[in-house]
Amino acid sequence: MAFTFFFRDLHSIERTLDLFIPLVTGKSVIKIWDAGCANGPEPYTLAILLNEKMNKFQFKNVKIICTDIDLSNQFGDIIEKGIYSNEEVARIPQDYLEKYFTKISDNKVQVIDEIRNKLTFYKHDLLTLTSIGNDFSLILCKNVLLHFTYEERIKVINMFYNSLSPNGLLVTEQTQKLPDEFKGKFEQVASDAQIYKKL
């Protein structure tokens, strides 16, 4: 199973949301694509923090589409149910854990419906270069691009570019700067994180 955990790379996510929330003010549909979501900790972290930072009317408009190649054929079921072991949620701050998770057994908790209903999972291979949609205000693709060749990265990022709404944000792993080929297509909007705005 892919390596991931709740509240991973919190600095980048918080910086992203500080830039993202003002960009989507007034939008009736706010679409987010988490590409390479593994079994769900990253998109659930994102949904929790969006609920904390947005007003309730704005959060109501959020839809997070999660995709992964999912060689285990288990991620969709895990994300849909939102059930995780105590070990898997150990890094979540206690106040968030109590607010957003319900204990269902001695060793299992479940994400509350309000958050769980924001996520939809699709099995998807990025290298098909077929987008799952368009007009995304935010695309996260972290810990995935480094597994691709340089040429594959360019093709996948170009697909993301075409899938983003004007001024939409693309967020990559801290180690993954965008190739020079995307100068004029994206502008880095944070000096301390790999956050790029579509031009």
Which pLDDT score, from 0 to 100, does residue 174 have? 87
Summarize pLDDT for 50-94 with one digit per residue, the tens: 999 999 999 999 999 999 999 999 999 999 999 999 999 999 999
If you search the block for the tokens 């967020």, which residue do you land on?
A: 171
Report how far apart, in Å, the C-alpha atoms of 123 and of each of 49, 71, 73, 136 are.
Answer: 24, 9, 8, 18
The model's pTM is 0.96
- Residue 175 pLDDT level (bands cut at 50, 70, 90): confident
User: Does residue 2 register a pLDDT over 60?
Assistant: no
Is the predicted pLDDT of residue 148 greater than 90, yes or no? yes
Half-sphere exposure of 135 (CA within 13 A, CB side): 8
